[in-house]
Amino acid sequence: MNKILSLIKENSLLKVTLFCLSFLFFQLNSYSQDGKKLFKANCAACHNVGTKKVVGPGLSGVAEKHDREWLGKWIKNSGELIASGDAAANEIFNEYSKSIMPPQPVDDAQIDAILEYIKNPGDGVAATPEDVTSVGTVEEANSTMLYLFIGVILLLLILVITLNKTGVFVKEVIAKDAGEEYDGPTTLGQGLSQLISNNKGIVAALVIVLFFGGIVNLMDGAFTIGVHQGYKPEQPIKFSHKIHAGDDKIDCNYCHSSARHSKTSGIPSLNVCMNCHKAIDGSDGKTFTYNGQQYSMTEEIQKIYDHLDYDPETGEYGDNPTPVQWIKVHNLPDHVYFSHQQHVTAGKQKCQTCHGPVEEMDVVEQHAPMTMKWCIECHKETAVATEGNGYYDDMHKRMTPEFKEKVLGDGVLTVDEIGGWECAKCHY
């Protein structure tokens, strides 16, 4: 043990290695504190962890002003809380010029982490809009630290193997104990210089691996920017697709009728809901599961009546209907063109191809990544629905034998072979 302590005390190279490992450990520990990352990714554009107002109020002491249940509802869907008539929610709403805070795609555990960070921000430095990072950037930071961790471990192994082989450690300690002169490295700079000089190839290889590994990791992180796969906001009316599309077998096109003849699938009006819910009013007191919690069917159907200003007792509509502030789940960039009609009617694609098993979802979520790569791969693998379509029958007749053999050589005509990869097909 004394030899080891002496080795650490006397050898500057080992000291710097242990220092690097310690520093990396604390860095990794800091990255494990998800609250700060989540705050920057979701809150910092509008809020400060101190008392200063940005777009919204400063959040210092927010956990003392409101209970945890209220904060959870506000963060997940402030519009619904305001619409419920909650006094505190409406006070904030009116104070900030009736601007509604956008619903945040975070779960209860993430909310707890954010609140804990606000309570104990650590460095005391308030987050600013410039600190905002995307989820992809957060993942990139964690992956980069992993690369650094692996790199330091490799460096340590190389250091131990190299110095053990050259005997520098042993020579230095023995020389000190024997009172002999030692002409080896005595400072950090000298030690590092000798290490690099004796292992130029290894050091160069390590630098190259870390550099290009970081570049690849950065590129991977960039590909995740704007991808919201798994996003599933709670809606102001707890509409369960599992009950309607799954249990009751209602066809998707009954509610989203414009999907067959329009670019968009459309959000059904509440009058469509009333086709059934004039008779099904929830008076039987049944409950249903939505996002893991039980809700009263009576209360949710009553929300429909309230928005339509409908009196179920008299069956009459009033003069003050209000729109439902539904939260959009699937969002494509403005420069992307997508037609539901082209895919549903001409392409004969099922809704589940893009939206996943909606009939099994209580809360609808974004099932697919909706990236350009995902669309291109689908166009590469999906056969064109030519059967019963006179356009394709005529097209095949006009094809030359050589072209028909080239395109239909495998007997399958895929979307990419009829222009499905042309830029102008999907981009304005």
**Domain residue limits, the chain:** 2-26+137-223, 45-131, 241-343, 384-428
Please list, in sequence order, all residues whose beta carbon lies within 8 angstroms of the beta carbon of residue 237, skipping any fewer than 6 positions away: 300, 303, 304, 324
CB 39 within 8 A of CB 127: yes
DSSP state of 100: P
pLDDT at 143 > cutoff 70: no
Separation CA 312–CA 274 (nearest Å): 11
Of 290 and 55, more confident: 290
pLDDT at 24 > cutoff 90: no
Please list, in sequence order, all residues whose beta carbon lies within 8 angstroms of the beta carbon of residue 206, skipping any fewer than 6 positions away: 151, 154, 155, 158
Look at residue 28 in the predicted model and tell me its pLDDT. Answer: 47
Give the model's confidence band at 126: pLDDT under 50 very low, under 70 low, under 90 confident, else very high: very low
Helix (H) or strand (E) holding 395: helix 390-398
Q: What is the mean pLDDT of residues 23-33?
A: 48
Percent of the chain with pLDDT over 70: 78
Please list, in sequence order, all residues whose beta carbon lies within 8 angstroms of the beta carbon of residue 288, skipping any fewer than 6 positions away: 238, 240, 243, 294, 295, 297
Look at residue 159 in the predicted model and tell me its pLDDT. Answer: 65
Report the topology of domain 45-131.
Cytochrome Bc1 Complex; Chain D, domain 2 (1.10.760)
Look at residue 16 in the predicted model and tell me its pLDDT. Answer: 53
Give the model's confidence band at 146: pLDDT under 50 very low, under 70 low, under 90 confident, else very high: low
Task: Round the average pLDDT of the chain to a whole number and report it.
Answer: 80
Predicted TM-score (pTM) of this structure: 0.53
DSSP 210-275: HHHHHHHHHHHHHHTTT--TT--PPPSS---HIIIIIIS---HHHHSGGGGTSSS--PPPHHHHHH
pLDDT tens, position by position, 287-299:
999 988 899 999 9
**Of 254, 280, 273, 284, residue with least CA distance to 321:** 273
Q: What is the mean pLDDT of residues 363-374?
A: 93
Separation CA 243–CA 84 (nearest Å): 24
pLDDT tens, position by position, 200-238:
888 889 899 999 989 998 888 888 888 889 999 989 999
> Hey, which of 11-15, 19-23, 302-306 has the most confident mean pLDDT?
302-306
Give the model's confidence band at 195: pLDDT under 50 very low, under 70 low, under 90 confident, else very high: confident
